[in-house]
Homo-oligomer: A and B are copies of this chain.
């Protein structure tokens, strides 16, 4: 037990040294409990913090001038988020919990220590940033070039793949904590149309609803119509610096 959710995540890629573990634990020595729907940061607020999510779900989003919302990413346990604070003094996105959640804020000074003293962790942070960038480019293609049905399918597939990565016990059933309105805001659709697409996916035998849970009945099929590429499979860590 490392006591650090984030260290556990990273340890799945490379065995960490004690010194590295201690450095990561320092990012999580200030956990905070929040109820569902709590605002963590609002866009444009001054913000020097980033977060590691220990329990629960969160999401980041943008509100446009006309009041519409674009959900940027869902955050699950072990995720580091709010990382744009590393580059900007003001939050570039709003962060909110989607369930009761425990999160660990840490400030940029803590990040400085990691970069200064732990080059291998720094490289891992960079790798994670690149993986998230790729995830965003995949979603860009999804919104820009695929149908409503495909976009919903892509969101659901991505949730399944990511949640299963965190919990190997998950096979085909995931909690669907999102309202259809939120699915719409993530996929660039209206809630009404999301409802129709969910029904269509169910009629195609791809998914099934089961009191609050979503059952993916045909993962291959869902991934296929979603144009989904599973990139979580493996990262290339061959170039990492020696640990300290």
A residues in contact (CB < 8 Å) with B: 60, 62, 64-65, 68-70, 72, 83-89, 92-93, 108-109, 111-112, 115-116, 119-120, 122-123, 125-134, 136-141, 143-146, 187-188, 227, 231, 234-236, 238-242
Contact = CB atoms under 8 A, between A and B. Distances in A.
Nearest to A225: B65
- How many copies of this chain does one complex carry? 2
Contacts of A65: 227
Contact of A84 (B115, B134, B188): B134
Given A119-B119, A122-B122, A129-B126, A87 B134 contact: yes
A123 B117 CA distance: 12
Given A88-B235, A115-B123, A122-B123, A72 B140 contact: yes
A143 B140 contact: yes
A129 B78 CA distance: 20
Contact of A130 (B122, B129, B240): B129
